[in-house]
Amino acid sequence: MDTQDGTQQSQQLILAHNVFLLKHPDVSDIEKVRLSDEVLNSVQSNDMTSYYETLVTDKVLELDQSLLESMRAKNEEEIKKLDEKIADAEENLGESEVREAHLAKSLYYIRIGEKEKALEQLKVTESKTVAVGQKMDLVFYTLQIGLFYMDFDLISKSIDKAKNLFEGGGDWERKNRLKVYEGLYCMSTRNFKKAANLFLDSISTFTTYELFPYDTFIFYTVLTSIISLDRVSLKQKVADAPEILTVIGKIPHLSEFLNSLYDCQYKSFFLAFAGLTEQIKLDRYLHPHFRFYMREVRTVVYSQFLESYKSVTIEAMAKAFGVTVEFIDMELSRFIAAGKLHCKIDKVAGVLETNRPDAKNALYQATIKQGDFLLNRIQKLSRVIDL
């Protein structure tokens, strides 16, 4: 959101993540003291008056009246200077300079956390903008505001707007950046399949360092792909992808998580999965979907194991996963009841019997059902015509 080196994460998004951790119940009190200092320093250095008041109201920070008044005074002084620059540009300079002056005011509102004023000023700046590329940059600023406040309605509308702009032209670099923004939006709204496809399309062209580092991007790509891709695609697009192989070893447990699933090493998979749960739980975008993701991953791994068998003992499955028979029995009964797994438990014999649906038979049944429906409609219509 702030103007900075293109290979650095936005300071505002770092701040948003730190505030998320400050509110998280699983973060230790010692860590929260450090985070509190970082948040206060970030708010103070950017003179984020309104955001500071919000954090005080939410009891994230304590009120310092002198600091509040000091930041408010700096805001008023800086906005006055920016308004003077706009007036000077409109009177004495060209259209390009006028646009730059309005853009500077937009970026300042973003920097100090004035959401509504920033969005309003970005619209003014857009009205002074002709080039598609520059209009796209304004949309990216709007998207970053949306991600800072987790305003999914704003993000969705901005993505649609960006796509409409691209119909009139636009360079590939910005198009590829938009894929990552849309992928992050899809992941944050639980559309993991679309997120995985967008992330995989962007692996070799990733430049959106303002959102997160490349390591984090690979982390999201692997997590979304595991519950979205079939086994063959997972191997081709993820497990064997050179871009992923160069980074995956730097992320704790991620390599074991991916490879043990493909290699059917289920005991190792569960251990790696347990190591990743903390990272998922403490991630600002994934945290709301933590329980859902845990269920989906277990569905994938249980389905993969059962696919190899017509029937298998519960004891053998428990041994393969390194858990107790009671745990597997309880787990599978939930997933079977929810329709996630196609098998049944013979509790007396201690055996699992798979009853995978036949795709051809399902298609045949669907065709028969639709045919009956069509015949009924034709009969009703014929009666009306006869009358």
pLDDT of the residue at 46: 92
Task: Identify whether 154 is part of a domain.
Answer: no
Assess if residue 37 is contained within a domain: yes
CATH of the domain at 334: 1.10.10.10
Spatial contact of 159 and 175, defined as CB atoms under 8 Å apart: no
What are the φ/ψ torsions at residue 352 (nearest 5 degrees)? Answer: -105, 130
CATH code (residue 21) = 1.25.40.570
Q: Comparing C-alpha atoms, which of 339, 341, 286, 282 is closest to residue 312? A: 341
Spatial CA neighbour of 20 closest among 32, 30, 11: 32
Mean pLDDT for the chain overall: 89
Considering 131, 151, 177, which residue would you say is the last residue of a domain? Answer: 131
pLDDT band (50, 70, 90) for residue 387: low
- Partners of 353 in the beta sheet? 311, 344
CA-CA distance, 227 to 230, in Å (whole number)?
Answer: 8
Strands ordered across the beta sheet of 343-346: 311-313, 351-354, 343-346
Report whether pLDDT(82) > 70: yes
- Residue 81 covered by a domain: yes
Whether 370 has a pLDDT exceeding 90, the answer reads: no
Q: Which residues pair with 343 in a beta bridge?
A: 354
| pLDDT number for residue 2 | 47
- Residue 22 in domain: yes
> The tokens of 243 are what?
């871009």
Final residue belonging to a domain, choices 102, 131, 160: 131
Segment 362-374 shows an average pLDDT of 80
Task: Inform me whether the pLDDT recorded for 342 exceeds 90.
Answer: no
Identify the three-state secondary structure at position 355: coil
Q: Which residues pair with 344 in a beta bridge?
A: 353
Q: How confident is the model at residue 359 (pLDDT cuts 50, 70, 90)?
A: low
- The closest alpha carbon to 13, from 118, 150, 105, belongs to 150
Q: What is the CA radius of gyration of the chain?
A: 27
For residue 281, name the pLDDT band (cuts at 50, 70, 90): very high
- Closest to 276 in 3D by CA, of 234, 248, 237, 315: 248
**What integer pLDDT is reported at residue 308 of this predicted model?**
82
Measured between alpha carbons, how far is 70 from 84 in angstroms, rounded to an integer?
A: 21
3-state SS track over 251-277: CCCHHHHHHHHHCCCHHHHHHHHHHHH
Q: Which helix (H) or strand (E) holds 110?
A: helix 95-111
What mean pLDDT comes out for the span 30-53? Answer: 93
* pLDDT recorded at residue 41: 94
Looking at the domain assignment, is residue 345 inside a domain? yes
CA–CA distance, 137 with 159 (Å, rounded to integer): 12
Token representation of residue 62: 């304590």
Q: What is the pLDDT of residue 35?
A: 93
- Tens of pLDDT, residues 136-163: 999 999 999 999 999 999 999 999 999 8
331 within domain boundaries:
yes
Total domains in the chain come to 2
**Domain finish residue from 131, 148, 179:** 131
SS3 24: coil
Query: Is 108 within the bounds of a domain?
Result: yes
Residue 369's domain spans which residues? 308-386
Residue 356 lies in a domain: yes
